[in-house]
Amino acid sequence: MNTNNTRITLAHGEGARATRELITNRILTRFDNEHLRQLSDATQLDVASDRIAMTTDSFVVSPMIFPGGDIGSMAVYGTVNDLAVSGAVPRWLSLALIIEEGLELSILDKILDSIASAAERCGVVIVTGDTKVVPRGAADGIFINTTGIGELNSSVIAGPRSIRAGDLLIVSGPIGRHGIAVLSAREELALEPPPQSDSAPLHNSVACLRKNVGEAVKAIRDATRGGVSAVLHEWATECNLTMQLDETRIPITDDVRGASELLGLDPLYIANEGTMVIAVDPAAEAEALAALRSIPESHNAVVIGRVTARKVSPVTIQRMLGVEQPVDEPTGALLPRIC
């Protein structure tokens, strides 16, 4: 078998014929659009709004393919979600690949297929790209950067400084699923069935929520690195109030609970890739939950706590037996390459 034909070689990154063949045969075939087709240094975009949102994220997750997702769809959803939770309509993505020499082309194809279908699902167009190849050992498989642009047409989401005592805290679904899925796959825990990542786009959920409850939405954030705890600590700092969780209401699937106990991890700190935290005015509780539950990606949305006057701890949890305990700020759980 000629490995030159089945694996990425350094020539694929040289900017010459092999690069052009890679781009023409594997990228353009999947992402063909007027922007990419030009293969120009920069692409031109017509902006319908005078405000845009911009966000960037690099993805280095290992393994590249895991139960419930892969690095490709994650790279699309992650950036789409960052745009969505900031109130923008996701429109355009750039796609930059850093590939390790020796990556099997069949794996690259699978990842590119996944990127293409994720972009279609989100209604975003990949308008510009870059491909670099580094020698074996200088990277690990593939790293993907997506940078996204969204249009800001409607009013801006007020943000965590607008949070008031009495506001409710909602999560859009069960927490900790992404981190547990990746760790289980990487550590070969052989759980059956294997825990699935929550990797998913949240733009429809955010749009429906905002359409139905408008200004009652105070803040939205996808709970990625550092999990729900990291989001709540940031918000508590911004608004100088306390985020009080109710342990009995936090949705955790059985497999995440079991694997977390096995690994000695607290799901509150584990990364999600398709789950967000929302702060809403309590008057809008029913409408907010109904709006979220009408969208598949957030149909398990529930209230998990409320905001109170500032206590000693910025984030607390009401345990099942009634005791209120502080939730510490995540300090770095040494779970590398989760996203």
Per CB under 8 A, which of residues 210..239 are in contact with a second copy? 221-222, 224-226, 230
8, 88, 168, 279: which one contacts a second copy (CB under 8 A)? 88
Instruction: Report the alpha-carbon angle 46-117-97, nearest 5.
Output: 75
List the interface residues with a second copy, window 173-212 (CB under 8 A). Answer: none
- In this structure, what are the phi and psi dihedrals at residue 38, rounded to the nearest 5 degrees? -70, -25
Question: d(Cα 83, Cα 147) in Å, to the nearest integer?
Answer: 10
Tally of residues, the chain = 339
- Specify the 3-state DSSP secondary structure of 14: coil
Using CB under 8 A, which of the segments 54-62, 109-117, 174-182, 280-288 binds a second copy?
A: 54-62
Task: Write the DSSP symbol of residue 157.
Answer: P
Residue 87: how many other CB atoms lie within 10 Å: 22
C-beta of 100 vs 167, nearer to a second copy: 100
Residues 6+ apart with CB under 8 A from 331: none
Q: How many residues lie near a second copy (CB under 8 A)?
A: 83
Exposed/middle/buried for 187, CB within 10 Å: 0-12, 13-18, 19+? exposed
95, 252, 279, 280: which one contacts a second copy (CB under 8 A)? 95
What DSSP assignment string belongs to 299-334? TT-EEEEEEES--SSSEEEE-TTS-EEE-PPP----
Does the protein bind a second copy through residue 55 (CB under 8 A)?
yes
Q: Which of 152, 177, 168, 174 is nearest to 259 (CA)?
A: 177
C-beta of 148 vs 173, nearer to a second copy: 148
List the interface residues with a second copy, window 28-47 (CB under 8 A). Answer: 40-47
C-beta of 162 vs 318, nearer to a second copy: 162
C-beta of 47 vs 283, nearer to a second copy: 47
Using CB under 8 A, which of the segments 23-31, 97-105, 207-215, 282-290 binds a second copy?
A: 97-105
State the binding string over 300-319 for a second copy (x if CB under 8 A, else -).
Answer: --------------------
Using CB under 8 A, which of the segments 13-21, 174-182, 257-265, 297-305 binds a second copy?
A: 13-21
List the interface residues with a second copy, window 104-133 (CB under 8 A). Answer: 127-130, 132-133
List the interface residues with a second copy, window 278-297 (CB under 8 A). Answer: none
Using CB under 8 A, which of the segments 63-71, 286-294, 301-309, 328-336 binds a second copy?
A: 328-336
Question: d(Cα 51, Cα 227) in Å, to the nearest integer?
Answer: 30
List the interface residues with a second copy, window 132-161 (CB under 8 A). Answer: 132-135, 137-140, 143, 145, 147-150, 152, 156, 159
27, 98, 175, 327: which one contacts a second copy (CB under 8 A)? 98
List the interface residues with a second copy, window 253-272 (CB under 8 A). Answer: 271
Question: d(Cα 270, Cα 214) in Å, to the nearest integer?
Answer: 30
171 neighbors 306 (Cβ within 8 angstroms): no
